[in-house]
Amino acid sequence: MTQLSEAKKGNLTPEMKKVAQEERQDPKFVRETIAKGQIVLPKNARYKLAHVKAIGQGLRTKVNTNIGTSPDLIDLDFELEKLKVACRAGTDTVMDLSTGGDLDEVRRAIRKASSIPLGTVPIYQAAIESIAEKGALAKMDPDKIFEVIERQAL
């Protein structure tokens, strides 16, 4: 089940109801706007989030925070502290833009610690791994990006 598929069937999920309440919108509006693709409600069935958020038409503007390691500063505790500070400050979503260290480990730790939706940029990891494995970004196997997307979705 995805929020989009349920909305297209005319079903109102608990997440849609929660968003409608928090956004002071009619639940039917939320469901119909998701079905049209004008609202996105990020929800991975594998992870429970304390705070469900939706982004799009008719909803309040959201604040996103970018965090992540770099080749020059690989400190997972520092990234987790940035996540905590961002959440205390009221951020709605967080993006892991990590490019240094064990990227799978960093992402898993951030996801585990996050109570809000987490986004990633799979091409960053695919590029870094391709350079490490093949010596150049230009040598990236086209299937690499799909492999990384699948890993990041787990």
pLDDT score of 54:
95
Write down the mean pLDDT value for the chain.
94
80-99 per-position pLDDT tens digit: 999 999 999 999 999 999 99
CA distances from 134 to 121, 127, 129, 140, 150 (A): 20, 10, 8, 7, 21
Q: How many CB atoms lie within 10 A of CB 32?
A: 15
- Determine which of 10-14, 51-55, 56-60 has the lowest per-residue pLDDT on average: 51-55
Task: Classify 136 as helix, strand or coil.
Answer: coil
Residue type, 145: I
Q: Which residues have a Cβ under 8 Å from the Cβ of 30 and sit 6 or more positions away?
A: 16, 19, 20, 23, 39, 54
CB 30 within 8 A of CB 15: no
Q: What is the pLDDT of residue 122?
A: 96
Q: Report the alpha-carbon distance of residue 67 to residue 88 in Å, rounded.
A: 15
Burial class, 24, CB count within 10 angstroms (exposed 0-12 / middle 13-18 / buried 19+): exposed
Share of the chain above pLDDT 90, in %: 90
Confidence of residue 45 (pLDDT cuts 50, 70, 90): confident
**Interval 60-77: pLDDT, tens:** 999 999 999 999 999 999
Judge contact between 116 and 91, C-beta under 8 A: yes
Q: What is the pTM of this model?
A: 0.87
- Give how far Cα 59 sits from Cα of 3, 38, 142, Å: 16, 10, 37
Q: Is the pLDDT of residue 46 over 80?
A: no
